[in-house]
Amino acid sequence: MTSTLVFGGARSGKSAYAERLAIGSGKEVVYIATARDGDGEMASRIRQHRRQRPAEWLTVEEPLALADAVLRHCTPGRLVLVDCLTLWLSNLMFSGAAEYPDVGDIELPPLFHDQRQQLLRALERVGGDLLLVSNEVGMGIVPYGAISRSFTDESGRLNQAVAAACDRVAFVAAGLPLMLKGAPC
């Protein structure tokens, strides 16, 4: 049983790389999608991802209770691919329907803290192979607005915690993986 974090910037090739790893595993694959189709553009992205995935993969759509889905589906002889952690994080941040200020402190909803902790605990107990895809959003300028800065900070913290818990970590840029931790994939 191996856990792997694959992360990189937008359109870096991280999802495609993770999908190649899943196909190459020769195992039954469960794809856990965290995206919500809140607008036309996102709905289009989701349709594109669905078309690209092999038809034999089981797709589970889970925007919030990710730890439960991972533990339920990550069993021996199976590989679970989660795409992606940053969309999941965003779903949690906005799960309370709060109006966030442009400046000042951000109070994230209790569900955010609870689900984040549950995921980190689940990573210690998975029963099969796990691939987690995440965005690296902190390599650019500091974003404008308190919620944007909070998202960047929380994404970085999550990536660090997940990377520490995983056996392997690959950073993808321009479609090329760079192994940061563990044996090459």
Catalytic residue numbers read 49
Reading the block at residue 144, the tokens are 């404008």
- CA separation for the pair 88, 104 (Å, rounded): 24
Beta-strand relationship, 58-61 and 129-135? unpaired
Put residue 145 in one of left, alpha, beta given phi > 0 → left and psi -120 to 50 → alpha. left
DSSP 161: H
